Structure 1
Amino acid sequence: MSARLDSNYRAHAVNTLGDTEIDVLVIGGGVVGAGAALDAASRGLTATLVEARDFAAGTSSRSSKLIHGGLRYLEQLDFWLVREALKERGLLLQRLAPHLVRPVSFMLPLRHRVWERAYIGAGVALYDTIGGARALPMHRHLSRTRALELAPALRAEALTGAIRYFDAQVDDARHTMMIARTAAQHGATVLTRTKVTGLLREGERVVGAEVTDMETGRTHTVRARRVISATGVWTDEMNQLTGVEFPFRVRMSKGVHILVPRHRLNMDTGLIMRTEKSVLFVIPWYRHWIIGTTDTDWSLDKNHPAASNADVQYLLDQINQVLREPLTGDDIVGTYAGLRPLLSGASADTATLSREHAVAEPVPGLFVIAGGKYTTYRVMAADVVDAAVAGLGRAVAPSVTEHLPLLGAVGYHELVADLDGLAQRTGLPRATVERLLGRYGSVVTELFDLITREPDLGMPLAGAPEYLGAEVVYAATHEGAVHLDDVLTRRCRISIEADDRGLAAAPHVARLIGARLGWDAEKTEREIGRYRDRVAAELTANRAADDEAANAARLAAIA
């Protein structure tokens, strides 16, 4: 059986916080923090992860949802970063998370007949081979005729030809949560809604932290031989807790994405285009296309980065340059904004800041990891744990996560091979079973067990028929969901996929998970109301003219 992050798990974990000194306390439940907890636990260390909100609630649920090396980093001559990222892409596709990471096709339109094909073609050829990155098909050069056959939505005059290549994509929030569950399976304690409010010190050394349970308000003292901060864009707040200057700072870059229905763009491949500011992706995402991203400096509220009307219009303007039938605001069904934690530099342009990471020990006992990119999370996690255990006073095994499949990976291919049999035995449509396998891997059998016990859970959700009732129940009984927003926004992606941002589904989902989490009628209505307020705040921000107006509108709406 897999690790069950249910209400009993959480209650026991919170009640025993601080009972004994642990080896490693990890602060931050994004992809790097979850990766660090897994790395530490799989080396035999006692590890606890605490996260102030939810797994992946920040940057790690708001990415472009790509596992890639980054073509643009080749142009910046950052070969080491690209090589490292492509190695990680291959590991995730083939060994670590084949159930969560899958190939995705991209077409790069060419506008110049001679030099551009040679220049970009050489770069893509290097991208296909650097670091042994042969986990995906090689790129192909396309004539304009062949390119338009793949993407009839494009204007013929917008390209002279194209190059098609492959990368990989992931549901970032689900992937991060699965890393955390894998860490729990290896003995780590993983907790959401637990905020570090202070550091414990013995002289200059950090020896733990004060941790407040955000659900009850109780504060616990957690002693740890090493503390790891993997707090992303909140790194500077950790700096303030220490009272010393860090050797680096984090600068925030906002990336905005919009979702439009799949039928709105007649294409059999994703797109990648260079803009004057960054790179624009059009990424296939189930019944939708994700279009993004922006790359702009952000110095406002970290918890609720807002997509303004200017951001949305910028994305529409960029993609409409190549479309036969332009997209409009009426086509958009979802938006989201995330903040990239970039290592601060002298550049005034966030698009040119490095995506490499850094590890530091600003005060004895506290290790900080910052920078990097989603794809290289495992390397970042191993690096910070390596640094943390170097002076622990006993031998610690090297990192083993390169060889450690995530929960749901083992047995996944066998279930895929038996797809028709699974559909027949469960009574679910083949397409539904296939989709579930791509979200849960081999632990999908636990969902099937739920449906066997409660057949109604095999029915589509009201307001979000692409999802089953079993999925939202499983989020509460196995995946650590504590609030309605955890389910609608991260365990499922209803908040960005449903035309109404999940408002119609919210009551049904709240009743299903509330029954498992012990909510009474008042608590259920409060959760629904809070979610409605969140959606209203997002829509208000989307209509605001610029960042400051969007930030103010969102904060006012959720006050």
Structure 2
Amino acid sequence: MSNIKKYCVFAAAGCMSGYAIYKYYQKKELKDASKIFQRAPPLNWKPDSRSDQIKNLKTRYFDLLIIGGGSAGCGLALDAATRGLNVALVEREDFGSETSSKSTKLLHGGIRYLEKAFKNFDIAQFRLVKEALRERSTVMKNAPYLTEKIPIMLPVYNKLMVPYFLMGLKFYDCISGLKSLGASYFMDKNRTIKKFPMIKKENLAGSVVYFDGQFNDSRLNVVLALTANFYGATTLNYITVKNIIQENGAVAGAICKDMKTGKEIVVRSKGVINSTGPFIDKIRGMSHKMCKPIVQPSSGVHLIFPGEYAPKNMGLVIPNTKDNSVLFFIPWQGKALVGTTDNKCKLEFSAKPKLHEIDSILNEIKDAVSMPENISRTHILSAWSGIRPLVSDPTKNSGKTENLVRNHLIHVDNSKLITLSGGKWTTYRQMAQETIDKAIEIYKLQPKRKCVTEYVQLLGSHKYSEDLYLKLQRDFQIPINIAEHLAKSYGDRAFKFNELLKGKCKLLSNKYSFLEMEVNYCIENEMALSITDIIGRRMRFGFIDVNEADKSIKKIANLMSKSLKWKPHQKKLEIQNAHNYLLTLGLDINAKNKHH
């Protein structure tokens, strides 16, 4: 080997070693900076009152105003607050009221995207998978009580394809590295049928199994808002933006309206971030009238069935259905979650699943599995449509949304309005980090520290353990199912129920573990203001059994009316709003079915 070659080898080795050392100390610096966030919040902590937070909106000059309280917006608020920035977040409805509460409840890297990356030699898809797998681990570490790993089987009907699928999943494991949730494996035909007796048996060779994450989306969204509030952010639901304020051609805040009182609020800030999911173009239009749309909405319909419609303690995925979508059968909250569609759709608030979309999924179910009876709309317990904010190219006009990358886009317009679009739940933290980095650059902000959210545990996580429910059951003297519900919903904050319970467990429904006292808890501790906040986002009642949730509305209304001092006409309006909300979750599906 010549001296030049030796020199090059040594230089390359030196560069690699130097980079490794640099990354090590960079990570150590962030861990040290995050130590102040490792202490558990006091058990008696609760968010500032709504009136105090509205006063903040009116009187403070914020570094950042974040518009939108879904996963992205609340992730942004937490990131900014933990960097020491003065941040406010406003949401026109409730936290996670639209897309962020209507997901497939999976934290995943994207098996389908990995397959596309190989088939099309698409580096963008590969990077998306790698990023998502890293972020999946972070989300599960920082919110352990709201997340869990789930094995998912992929049936194989051609023996020759078993090595192909297994090799792909092993590569999925490899990309996960030390953050893997478990090694993928093969199950023969008999074991596969034992796990899911309804699976189609003809030509079945077996199944390959891999691991992904599962979570409670709307509760995670609410906890993000609460954690951001704990670290100093002003986070308000039911505040809508009417217009963007500009000074010298640059954004300088927003004119808002309190949806509960109708009063106008002027919010001043150095910068504004638009993170309103599929509705970002509406906010962009306030800043720049002639802007081209950058989101192509896609409808994702999901159906809820009784638990036996999913495999035992395991998910099932059919990767390619007739309409080239993916069909999931996922055990969730004791039920079977089945979906989903992926079609270009009209943009609307509180979208309802269309009957033809529901029937499309029912037909796919019949093709994919062998049901013991003719499955129909009458078996559906709940149904919803989540509008995905897919990043689109406005110069192209294709209706095939499955070909769009579920990546995110950070866009800065001429008025310096920053818009965060696209992405998915799994990568909300990374999206927030990149966006706040951009905001610091654009608005010349002075944070106290770099991004530390990789190490910030969310409210309820600090003293959580897998056996927490046993301690709750023993200390509170309550049934085990209620203890499990409290532990998995509130984490270590469940200890706050000690004074509330006092041995009494009044249920909202005899079929489920939801407690009457949770209503007042969510009002005082989780910024719940309406019946829909309770049955949709704080509890998952409407999402697991829409008819049973409807029966509980009046009971919840009585509890909330007393606590929030509603007048008779307010109470009546809230009951009607809750009923209308449940219509978007499939309350009238069976009624419509009677007329078909």
TM-score by length of 2: 0.86
1:442 equivalent to 2:492? Answer yes
In the alignment, what sits opposite 1:280? 327
> How far apart, CA to CA, are the structure 2 residues paired with 1:540 and 1:470?
25
Find 1:531's aligned residue among 573, 578, 581.
Answer: 578
CA contact (8 A) 2:79 2:432 kept: yes
Find 1:398's aligned residue among 450, 461, 471.
Answer: 450
CA contact (8 A) 1:464 1:502 kept: no
In the alignment, what sits opposite 2:139? 92
CA contact (8 A) 2:384 2:586 kept: no
Displacement after TM superposition at 1:436 (Å): 1.5
Identity %: 32
In the alignment, what sits opposite 2:376? 328
CA spacing shift, 1:444–1:386, aligned 2, 3 Å: same
Q: How does 1:138-177 map to 2 (within 5 A)?
A: 138-157=183-202, 159-177=204-222
Larger Rg over CA atoms: 2
CA spacing shift, 1:34–1:80, aligned 2, 3 Å: same
Displacement after TM superposition at 1:431 (Å): 2.7
> How far apart, CA to CA, are the structure 2 residues paired with 1:122 and 1:245?
49
Displacement after TM superposition at 1:149 (Å): 1.5
CA contact (8 A) 1:90 1:133 kept: no
CA contact (8 A) 1:489 1:495 kept: yes
CA contact (8 A) 1:257 1:335 kept: yes
> How far apart, CA to CA, are the structure 1 residues paired with 2:431 and 2:51?
30
> How far apart, CA to CA, are the structure 1 residues paired with 2:311 and 2:444?
60
For 2:144, what is the secondary structure of its paired residue? coil
In the alignment, what sits opposite 2:109? 69
CA spacing shift, 1:536–1:33, aligned 2, 3 Å: closer
For 1:18, what is the secondary structure of its paired residue? helix
> How far apart, CA to CA, are the structure 1 residues paired with 2:95 and 2:203?
41
CA contact (8 A) 1:2 1:185 kept: no
In the alignment, what sits opposite 1:552? none
- CA deviation vs aligned residue, 1:440-486 (integer Å, no higher than 9, x gap): 1111111233223xx54x22113653211122221111111111111
1:255 equivalent to 2:300? Answer yes
The aligned amino acid for 2:405 is S
Unmatched runs of 5 consecutive residues or more in structure 2: 1-41, 118-124
- CA deviation vs aligned residue, 1:470-529 (integer Å, no higher than 9, x gap): 222211111111111111111111112225151111111111222221223432232112
> How far apart, CA to CA, are the structure 2 residues paired with 1:388 and 1:247?
22
In the alignment, what sits opposite 1:185? 230
Displacement after TM superposition at 1:181 (Å): 0.2
1:480 equivalent to 2:527? Answer yes
> How far apart, CA to CA, are the structure 1 residues paired with 2:191 and 2:453?
42
1:26 equivalent to 2:78? Answer no
Deviates more, 1:20-29 or 1:488-497: 488-497
Find 2:411's aligned residue among 360, 363, 378.
Answer: 360
- CA deviation vs aligned residue, 1:93-131 (integer Å, no higher than 9, x gap): 2x21111111112110011110x2122222211111204
> How far apart, CA to CA, are the structure 1 residues paired with 2:203 and 2:524?
50
Find 2:87's aligned residue among 43, 47, 50.
Answer: 47
Deviates more, 1:433-442 or 1:184-193: 433-442
> How far apart, CA to CA, are the structure 2 residues paired with 1:418 and 1:102?
15
The aligned amino acid for 1:254 is S
- CA deviation vs aligned residue, 1:196-225 (integer Å, no higher than 9, x gap): 111111121111110110111111111101
In the alignment, what sits opposite 1:13? 53
1:102 equivalent to 2:152? Answer no
- CA deviation vs aligned residue, 1:399-453 (integer Å, no higher than 9, x gap): 110010111110002xx4454332122011123212211111111111233223x
CA contact (8 A) 1:259 1:290 kept: yes
The aligned amino acid for 2:462 is V
> How far apart, CA to CA, are the structure 2 residues paired with 1:226 and 1:167?
37
> How far apart, CA to CA, are the structure 1 residues paired with 2:272 and 2:567?
38
CA contact (8 A) 2:469 2:487 kept: no
For 1:505, what is the secondary structure of its paired residue? helix
> How far apart, CA to CA, are the structure 2 residues paired with 1:310 and 1:544?
15
Deviates more, 1:423-432 or 1:163-172: 423-432
For 1:475, what is the secondary structure of its paired residue? helix
The CA RMSD measured in Å over matched residues stands at 2.2
Displacement after TM superposition at 1:348 (Å): 3.1
CA contact (8 A) 1:412 1:442 kept: yes
> How far apart, CA to CA, are the structure 2 residues paired with 1:385 and 1:379?
10
In the alignment, what sits opposite 2:341? 294
For 2:179, what is the secondary structure of its paired residue? coil
CA contact (8 A) 2:242 2:256 kept: yes
CA spacing shift, 1:101–1:421, aligned 2, 3 Å: closer
> How far apart, CA to CA, are the structure 2 residues paired with 1:266 and 1:132?
27
> How far apart, CA to CA, are the structure 1 residues paired with 2:243 and 2:487?
41
For 2:95, what is the secondary structure of its paired residue? coil
> How far apart, CA to CA, are the structure 2 residues paired with 1:4 and 1:488?
24
The aligned amino acid for 1:435 is H
For 1:466, what is the secondary structure of its paired residue? coil
In the alignment, what sits opposite 1:351? 402
CA spacing shift, 1:236–1:371, aligned 2, 3 Å: same
The aligned amino acid for 2:389 is P
In the alignment, what sits opposite 1:407? 459
CA spacing shift, 1:536–1:389, aligned 2, 3 Å: closer
In the alignment, what sits opposite 2:169? 124
CA contact (8 A) 1:28 1:229 kept: yes
- CA deviation vs aligned residue, 1:6-59 (integer Å, no higher than 9, x gap): 7x7112211332212111100000000000000000000000000000000110
Q: How many residue pairs align between the two structures?
A: 537
In the alignment, what sits opposite 2:120? none
In the alignment, what sits opposite 1:113? 159
Q: How does 1:372-391 map to 2 (within 5 A)?
A: 372-391=423-442
For 2:58, what is the secondary structure of its paired residue? coil
CA contact (8 A) 1:250 1:342 kept: yes
In the alignment, what sits opposite 2:537? 490
> How far apart, CA to CA, are the structure 1 residues paired with 2:388 and 2:46?
28
CA contact (8 A) 1:212 1:220 kept: yes
In the alignment, what sits opposite 2:354? 308
The aligned amino acid for 1:320 is K
CA spacing shift, 1:434–1:534, aligned 2, 3 Å: closer
1:201 equivalent to 2:246? Answer yes
> How far apart, CA to CA, are the structure 1 residues paired with 2:258 and 2:468?
44
In the alignment, what sits opposite 1:80? 127
In the alignment, what sits opposite 1:60? 100
CA spacing shift, 1:499–1:384, aligned 2, 3 Å: closer
CA contact (8 A) 2:333 2:544 kept: no
TM-score by length of 1: 0.91
CA spacing shift, 1:287–1:210, aligned 2, 3 Å: same
The aligned amino acid for 1:123 is G
